[in-house]
Amino acid sequence: MSFIQVENLSFRYDQTRTIIEDLSLSLEKGRNLGIVGESGSGKTTLLRLLLGLAQPSAGSISIDGQVLDTKNWQFMRDFRRRVQAVFQDPYSSLDPRQAIFDIVAEPLRALKIDVDVAKAVAEAATAVGLPADAAQRYPHEFSGGQRQRIAIARAIVARPDLVLADEVVSALDLSTRILIVDLLKALSTSVTFVVVSHDIALVALLCPDIAIMEKGRIVESGPTEHVLSNPVHPYTRRLLASTPRLP
């Protein structure tokens, strides 16, 4: 039994176009999965479904064999504790009127997790490399890269099993990207990531498994090394051709 099992998932906003079509995938704990696809291929939509923020038109998502049921309050509380997310835009994803301490503490307070909040927030902040005086400051005092660290601290503070990361470095400059990728790599020892990106090189750095997504479907998947060295689907080849090779 896989940790996360997605079966024949479909989703549409309206009748005219299917955004996610008959998509299946599975995920093991401890093995990061990269989902790569061009902009508009439905990656963010898939993450919204995985987070229970949108309802699939068909198919199911299960975690440890339990079907994701957004109407089951008790299940969702446990689910939220286990599955967290980091978003693309580090400016829009932090409430400008909240101090960093309150931002990072939000999952602990919302889920009423029985821990020493100050201690847990401090640990998360250390883990992501935030400066010691960050807690009482406000988001506008931080750079994009540091804001993304704050968002990552919020995602890991409740010690989830899985963190869904949606294009988390694409809004950052190159040198900051490298630092954040290093951070995600370091955190991968204690939490599993689903790294969603249009950047195949980034995913290759972080994920032993990869799934290639085109127009709401997974067209190819498997161990990253295998898929990259021996791409079968023409779309994968095209993606690879358009990506600068890593040194």
Partner 1 sequence: MSLTPADTPQPTAISVRRKIPLSLIVGGLIVGLHLLAGILTILWTPYEPTAMVGGRLAEPSIAHWAGTDRLGRDLFTQILIGARIALEVGSGAVLVGAGIGITLGTLAAFATRTLDDVFAAAFDILIAFPTLLVAMLIVTASQTASLFTAVLAIGIAGSAIIARLTRILVKRVLSMDYIVAARVAGSSWPSIVFVHVLPNIWPTLIVNLALQFGLAAMAESSLSYLGLGAPPPNASWGRLLQEAQGTVYTAPFGAIAPGLALVTLVIGMNLLADGLRAFADPTRRRSR
Ligand X SMILES: Nc1ncnc2c1ncn2[C@@H]1O[C@H](COP(=O)(O)OP(=O)(O)O)[C@@H](O)[C@H]1O
Residue 85 interacts with which of ligand X, partner 1, Mg ion, none, CB < 5 to 8 Å by class? partner 1
Residue 13 interacts with which of partner 1, ligand X, Mg ion, none, CB < 5 to 8 Å by class? ligand X
The span of 2-10, 74-82, 167-175, 210-218 binding partner 1 (CB under 8 A) equals 74-82
Residue 37 interacts with which of ligand X, partner 1, Mg ion, none, CB < 5 to 8 Å by class? ligand X
The span of 22-30, 39-47, 107-115, 235-243 binding ligand X (CB under 6 A) equals 39-47
Number of Cβ within 10 Å of residue 246's Cβ equals 10
Question: What tokens were used for 166?
Answer: 């949606």
Number of Cβ within 10 Å of residue 72's Cβ equals 13
Residue 37 lies near ligand X (rule: CB under 6 A): yes
The span of 16-24, 41-49, 187-195, 230-238 binding Mg ion (CB under 5 A) equals 41-49
CB 81 within 8 A of CB 135: no
* 5, 18, 32, 41: which one binds ligand X (CB under 6 A): 41
**How far, in Å, CA of 24 to CA of 74, rounded?**
26
Dihedral sign of CA atoms 214, 218, 195, 48 in order: positive
Residue 91 lies near ligand X (rule: CB under 6 A): no
Query: Cβ closer to Mg ion: 27 or 168?
Result: 168
CB 194 within 8 A of CB 27: yes
* 31, 81, 215, 217: which one binds partner 1 (CB under 8 A): 81
SS3 state of residue 84: strand
Residue 44 lies near Mg ion (rule: CB under 5 A): yes
**How far, in Å, CA of 186 to CA of 202, rounded?**
15
The span of 37-45, 52-60, 125-133, 237-245 binding ligand X (CB under 6 A) equals 37-45
Radius of gyration of the chain from Cα atoms? 18
* 58, 99, 178, 201: which one binds partner 1 (CB under 8 A): 99
CB 166 within 8 A of CB 47: yes
Please, is 168 exposed, middle or buried when counting C-beta atoms within 10 Å of its C-beta (0-12, 13-18, 19+)?
buried
125-135 burial, b at 16+ Cβ within 10 Å, e below that, comes to bebbbbeeebb
**Sites for partner 1 among residues 134-163 (CB under 8 A):** 134-138, 140-141, 151, 154
Residue 55 lies near ligand X (rule: CB under 6 A): no
Q: Where along the sequence are the contacts to ligand X (CB under 6 A)?
A: 13, 19, 37, 39-45
**Site of interaction with partner 1 (CB under 8 A):** 51, 53, 76-77, 80-81, 83-85, 87-89, 92-99, 101, 106-107, 110-111, 118, 121-123, 125-126, 130, 132-138, 140-141, 151, 154
